[in-house]
Copies of this chain bind each other. A is one copy, B any other.
Amino acid sequence: MSINTFGHLFRVTTWGESHGPALGATVDGCPPGVPIDAGAIQHWLDKRKPGQNRYTTQRREADAVQILSGTFEGVTTGTPVQLMIENTDQRSKDYGDIKDKFRPGHADITYFQKYGLRDYRGGGRSSARETAARVAAGGLARAALAALAPTVEIKGYMTRMGAHEIDRSRFYWDQIDQNPFWTPDATAAETWADYLDGLRKSGSSVGAVIEVVARGVPAGLGAPVYGKLDTDLAAAMMSINAVKGVEIGEGMSAAMLTGELNADEITMGPDGPVYSSNHAGGILGGISTGQDIVVRFAVKPTSSILTTRKTITRTGEETEIITKGRHDPCVGIRAVPVGEAMMACVLLDHMLLHRGQIGKNQGQIG
């Protein structure tokens, strides 16, 4: 990963701030001939768009994407695709209070220390608005995956909000799109609704765990030892705003298992190897096994809260701050489509990388 670019061959560079004229993604290395138009990308952006229900920020952005380059007559040309989203709702007056104070838990202080300035109007480059560009790039990646590997299906959902985890015995795929939290557990959705209403009204916020699963991924993707599929997924997810932890398969809990419990046994199915379980999260030695790829990440609670907190000013004066404005009580909700987008970009990138070095899988079992 370069500074504002990620990917080996499918390279995404995002640019733009929350309160500038526009933001976007410059996507290089997309295969040619992929059918795409702005509508197909807009579909995914709408999923992330703020203000859709009372659980997300009331900031209203159209988040309308334009394709400025890299397509011709409805398909990609193989040259850079520029995806631009204009910023339309920039009530910078909301942010006047933080011009000289650093918000605890935000990037305000580190940006100032490093760069000597910061765009105090709303987080600037560190704003979660940057993730809109990721979702746009992910939309293009999904279109390319649909052309190159139509079996791949990517789905993200929330498995924990604060103290409340889902019950996996109530896990239903078709529930995910049925509630504002993208959770597969309908009962959890009800609990969380009340819980989050309470937090929202008190001006507080809470963290969340998001799980992203990719099904139908062929075996063989990933490049040891520093371009491992799990390495790149970890980087991709950790690069999302507010993410503090990333897990593959069993994740941190792998530490609690013995070798007998952890290793997924292998038998032979009609189409190749079959595994008794998926502690590995679909990745062995950094390379996909053909099982579901399972990634999980924790999103910290929004630091913009209505409770008074101690902080300092640019000149080093001690003071207090309340962060008003229109913030997400559980920013993890909107991280779901972002996690999906990062998964799509990483998988496509590794498909191209695999094809480049290897062509097709060289080993055939059975």
Contact = CB atoms under 8 A, between A and B. Distances in A.
A310 B315 CA distance: 57
A281 B244 contact: yes
A123 B21 CA distance: 30
A244 B235 contact: no
**Interface residues of chain A: helix, strand, loop or mixed (majority):** mixed
A199 interface: yes
A305 B263 contact: yes
Interface stretch (A41-49, A54-62, A180-188, A221-229): A221-229
A231 B258 CA distance: 29
Interface in A243-279: 244-268, 272-273, 276, 279
A238 B231 contact: yes
Nearest to A329: B259
Given A68-B16, A118-B77, A298-B255, A227 B109 contact: no
Interface string A89-125: 0000000000000101111011111111111000011
Contacts of A112: 363, 365
Contacts of A314: 363, 365
A220 interface: yes
Contacts of A220: 110, 113-114
Q: Which of A5, A15, A199, A226 has the most CB of B within 10 A?
A: A226
A63 interface: no
Contacts of A84: 68
A13 B80 contact: yes
Interface string A1-39: 111111011010111110011111010111111000000
A312 interface: yes
A72 interface: yes
Given A13-B28, A77-B118, A358-B78, A268 B4 contact: no
A130 interface: yes
B224 A116 contact: no
Contacts of A356: 9, 352-353, 355-357
B363 A1 contact: no
Contact of A260 (B109, B228, B307): B307
A318 B366 CA distance: 10
Contacts of A66: 21
Contacts of A239: 225-226, 228, 231, 286
A354 interface: yes
Contact of A126 (B126, B224, B354): B224
A326 interface: no
Given A31-B357, A32-B117, A259-B305, 19 more contacts: A14-B80, A14-B226, A21-B66, A22-B69, A105-B263, A105-B264, A110-B219, A111-B285, A114-B219, A114-B362, A126-B224, A130-B225, A207-B262, A209-B255, A234-B237, A246-B246, A263-B303, A267-B310, A356-B356
